[in-house]
């Protein structure tokens, strides 16, 4: 079942691995649907670090996934495949995708779609799925942040950071963040962080100890790695948990394993895109139950820095890599 559809669509293609300028508009056939999938007429697509890495040639595309960039989208349902009961053509949705959102149309499993949040526009909705899925699966499932515990979020002004701050605060935890500038720190605190440390001026380990009366924080969400790993271990409380979601400073680190043992720490991490469709569907069900009502109520809100037209994806990637933004950068179609 579908609306009247064209045979081709405009999308953004990677002409060769490299700098943002390698992103160019191109024309492709519309994606074909497999059972259980829907086709989204895309209105907005969030920009994510993983997509800049894929553009550079440093993030392999999983088997069976499209090479078109884009891990999240908002729009309307344009077609549904066999086995889809919940959605109908014309429904507004936002979705985690397996790629393909930098395009006029994108196919994704129906189980990865979420109902359109109350009061949000397409740009705001398109900024949510990848960050919410990442934070939920890592902070609340993988390392089980509990009410009353303290979370430290590195990169607090990033799309992941602003999402983690709000989700942790809304679900009953204290939050400390790190960011580079006074403006970014102020934004983190306005979103609910109890303290934001300017890491160019202050030591986050000392700040974490001071905020917790010397105990240390319970959970750290880290996207830096490199030299931060050993310092994170120092900043953690006994029985603390460190979860990695990126390696912006590098994938290797010197670690004092004795501290991991003595403090009984958990050091873990994950990437979202390679996980199975079934696992992502499980995440989606939990998010719909636990997080989506908080978005509908306005307790958690999207933070969109700016938008770019689809054809200007290269400019959006340049801004992402400059780290000058607060919150999400979104392409509009």
d(CA 185, CA 140): 24
Percent of the chain whose predicted confidence (pLDDT) is above 90: 97
DSSP assignment of 45-75 equals EE--HHHHHHHHT-SPPPTT--SS--SEEEE
- Quick one: which of 127, 136, 110 has its CA closest to 35? 110
CB 185 within 8 Å of CB 207: no
Q: What angle do CA 321, 322, 328 make, to 5 degrees?
A: 70
Contact 331, 305 (CB under 8 A): no
The fraction of the chain above a pLDDT of 70, given in percent, is: 100
* pLDDT digits 0-9 by tens, 29-75: 999 999 999 999 999 999 999 999 999 999 989 988 999 999 999 99
Residues in the chain: 333
Helix, strand, coil % over all residues of the chain, rounded to 5: 30, 30, 40
CA distance 303 to 5: 33
Q: In a 3-state reduction of DSSP, which class is residue 113?
A: strand
Q: Tell me the mean pLDDT in the region 285-312.
A: 98
Compute the average pLDDT of residues 9-36.
97
Q: Half-sphere exposure of 89 toward its Cβ, with a 13 Å CA cutoff?
A: 9
pLDDT digit string, tens, across residues 194-217: 999 999 999 999 999 999 999 999
pLDDT at 3 over 90: no
Angle at 276 between CA 270 and CA 279, to 5 degrees: 80
For residue 2, pLDDT over 90 is answered with: no
Give the pLDDT score at 10. 98
3-state SS class at 80: strand
Question: 132-269, what's its fold?
Answer: Rossmann fold (3.40.50)
CB 93 within 8 A of CB 38: yes
What is the chain's mean pLDDT, rounded? 97
Residue tagged 């403006």 (tokens) = 183
pLDDT for 23 beyond 70: yes
Same fold, 8-128+273-332 and 132-269: no
CA dist 122 and 142 (Å) reads: 30
Instruction: Name the residue among 44, 220, 224 with its Cα closest to residue 128.
Output: 44
| Paired tokens of 241 | 């948990």
pLDDT score of 1: 64
Helix, strand, or coil (residue 316): helix
The domain locations on the chain are 8-128+273-332, 132-269
Q: What is the pLDDT of residues 97-129, one digit of tens each?
A: 999 999 999 999 999 999 999 999 999 999 999
Distance CA 183, CA 196 (A): 11
DSSP-assigned letters across all residues of 151-211: EEESSTTSHHHHHHHHHHHHTT-EEEEEESSHHHHHHHHHTT-SEEEETTTS-HHHHHHHH
Closest by CA position to 96, among listed 51, 129, 132: 129
Rounded Cα gap, residues 278 and 157, in angstroms: 31
Q: Assign domain 8-128+273-332 one CATH number from 3.90.180.10, 3.30.428.10, 3.40.50.300, 3.30.450.40.
A: 3.90.180.10
Closest by CA position to 283, among listed 293, 274, 272: 272
Query: CA 70, CA 269: separation in Å to the nearest integer?
Result: 22
């Amino acid at each position: 079942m579908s609306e009247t559809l064209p045979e081709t669509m405009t999308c953004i293609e990677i002409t060769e691995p490299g700098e943002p300028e390698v992103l160019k508009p191109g024309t492709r056939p519309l994606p074909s649907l497999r059972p259980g999938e829907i086709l989204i007429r895309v209105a907005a697509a969030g920009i994510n670090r993983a997509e800049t890495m894929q553009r550079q040639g440093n993030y392999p595309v999983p088997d069976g996934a499209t090479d078109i960039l884009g891990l999240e989208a908002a729009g309307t349902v344009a077609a549904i495949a066999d086995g889809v009961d919940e959605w109908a053509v014309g429904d507004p949705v936002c979705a985690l995708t397996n790629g393909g959102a930098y395009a006029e149309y994108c196919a994704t499993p129906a189980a990865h779609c979420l109902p359109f949040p109350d009061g949000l526009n397409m740009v705001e909705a398109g900024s949510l799925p990848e960050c919410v899925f990442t934070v939920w699966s890592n902070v609340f499932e993988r390392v089980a942040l509990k009410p009353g515990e303290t979370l430290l979020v590195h990169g607090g002004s990033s799309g992941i950071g602003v999402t983690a701050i709000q989700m942790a605060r809304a679900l009953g935890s204290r939050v400390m963040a790190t960011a580079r500038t006074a403006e970014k720190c102020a934004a983190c605190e306005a979103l609910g962080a109890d303290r934001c440390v300017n890491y160019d001026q202050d030591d986050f380990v000392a700040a974490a100890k001071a905020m917790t009366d010397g105990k240390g924080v319970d959970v750290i969400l880290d996207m830096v790695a490199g030299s931060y790993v050993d310092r994170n271990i120092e900043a953690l409380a006994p029985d603390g948990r460190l979860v990695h979601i990126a390696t912006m400073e590098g994938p290797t680190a010197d670690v004092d394993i004795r501290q991991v043992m003595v403090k009984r720490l958990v050091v873990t991490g994950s990437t979202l895109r390679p996980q199975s469709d079934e696992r992502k569907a499980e995440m989606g069900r939990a998010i719909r139950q636990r997080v989506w009502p908080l978005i509908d109520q306005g307790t958690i809100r999207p933070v969109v820095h700016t938008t770019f037209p689809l054809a200007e994806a290269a400019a959006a990637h340049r801004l992402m890599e400059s780290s000058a933004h607060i919150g999400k950068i979104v392409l509009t179609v």
